[in-house]
Amino acid sequence: MMLDLADRRADLTPRRPALHWRGRWSTYADLDERATRTAAYLAELGVQTGDRVAILAHNHPAHLDLFLATAKLGFVYAPFNTRLAPPELRAYAAQLRPTVLLHDGTHAEQAAAIGGARVSLDEHEAHMGSGGDASGRAVAEAPPLTPESIQMILPTGGTTGLPKGAMLPYRQGVYNAINTVMSWGLRDDDCVIQATPCFHAAMNAFTVPLWHVGARVVLQHTFDPGEYLRLVEEQRCTVMFLVPTMFQMLIEHPDWDRADLSSVRWVIYGGASSPDRIRRALADRGFVLRQGYGLTEAGVNCFSITEEDARERPHSVGKPMLHERAVIRRPDGSPCEPGEVGELTLAGPHVFAGYFERPDATAEVLRDGWLWTGDLATVDADGFFELKGRRKELFVSGGENVFPAEVEAAIAEHPDVSECAVVGVPDERWGEVGLAVVVARAGATLTQDDLRSHLAGRLARFKVPKHFDFPAALPKSGAGKILKLDIRQAFEARHVQKEEA
């Protein structure tokens, strides 16, 4: 099995453009050179096979340098979520124990608070531009890797809100690429903009598969809808992949109606449900929006759907990819009947190896060769799958997982809070946002501004609820359990009444 992607592509298509960054294209030979230099200087810093090398930065070629350098030195690429609050970053770093942390200027303070060996991206770029032999120790001492060796540890959600580290072996990356290229019909003349954060598994959605086939990737530092549209025009991009929140910002931009999108072959979204108005806006431009589905633990691409089927079944994710099996199951593991809601389970060589040093969490989701995703779904008689929701209480806001228990714990730290509950409620821009229902202590007065100020610095901004209610008591069952479904339904009923009024 091929492990060193940079080396093989540099051999096959050395002069072909591979990565566009801030006005300049790098070839596949350039990427291999950068990866080799990255491995060489990390070796000089003492990085060894199996060590974690972290990065805390917005999108930057350094993410891709690290990813491609893994096969040359044997370390593990471990990006950190830049949207986490400082306490969350420190806790995740303590769990992962990286040998070296790369960081950009924006996150220098957070990186310093984490501690340990650090390399700024300015220093990293200085290494990339240095002269002399780039091979050194990294090439002379080839690491002892196998398809099951861990290449990446990506942050994913946990029941307490602290990210778990999903371990992705080289085998996973290769088969995710094979599945994606063959099931979606990617070509060597395709081009996509990597606008979603590199610390997400979304980098596996298109960047890695397209590099397997020798195509082009445009890297955007942070998502800007105007720049995105300009890049589509200038670079003749063929695929548009964004989360619904990004698509919403795109269609609201003043350049949307006049942007030249004639090079785009098809459009796909993932990360959350897509409002119908996004679908309609894209249809007005001649596009059928395809729904993607994946999770960090499985590729990230798990299903494919043709444009014709997406038109007929707009809420379906399609059918499992080539090297994959998918079964909807009841809690006892038995398969569901067509149309019956159950938990989606997946199997195949694209499934992850488990959570870093979390055997109990791994055992919960990997059972008898199947990944239990925690997502509820159905499959119809023709084999088309449709997602129905999440088994647990987490909700997705702008493509980011939010765990109510974590938010509730942070709210409960306020001295005037008696009890609280947090649920996800629909939102046109973000897909879902938080609703916090908070009961104040006797004699105290609370406002949403009080709680927002209290949560600032404790939680990442996307976790702070958008809506706050302050009832005298929370709805509860006879056993004293908070009835969160009642809370959500009451909120939705109020908003329906407002829209009808």
Q: Please say if the pLDDT value at position 422 is more than 50.
A: yes
The CATH code that applies to domain 25-131+138-145 is: 3.40.50.980
Lowest mean pLDDT, pick from 176-190, 308-322, 402-416: 402-416
Q: Count CB neighbours of 1 within 10 A.
A: 9
- Nearest CA-CA partner of 274 in 285, 282, 266: 282
Per-residue pLDDT reduced to its tens digit, 153-184: 999 864 445 789 999 999 999 999 999 999 99
Give this prediction's pTM: 0.82
DSSP 112-131: HHH-SEEEEHHHHHHHHT--
Sheet holding 52-56, edge to edge: 117-120, 100-103, 52-56, 76-79, 150-156, 164-169, 354-355
CA distance 94 to 152: 17
Mean pLDDT score of the chain, rounded to an integer? 90
pLDDT score for 375 = 87
Q: Please say if the pLDDT value at position 435 is more than 70.
A: yes
**413 Rama class: left (phi>0) / alpha (psi -120 to 50) / beta:** alpha
Report which of residues 37 and 273 the model is more confident about: 37
H or E, element range at 252:
helix 244-252
pLDDT score for 99 = 97
- Spell out the domain ranges in the chain: 25-131+138-145, 395-500
pLDDT score for 97 = 96
pLDDT score for 198 = 93
Per-residue pLDDT reduced to its tens digit, 13-35: 999 999 999 999 999 999 999 99
Class of residue 183 by CB neighbours under 10 A (exposed 0-12, middle 13-18, buried 19+)? buried
Q: Please say if the pLDDT value at position 428 is more than 90.
A: no
Q: Please say if the pLDDT value at position 479 is more than 90.
A: no
Q: Please say if the pLDDT value at position 137 is more than 60.
A: no
Q: Please say if the pLDDT value at position 116 is more than 80.
A: yes
Superfamily of domain 395-500: ANL, C-terminal domain (3.30.300.30)
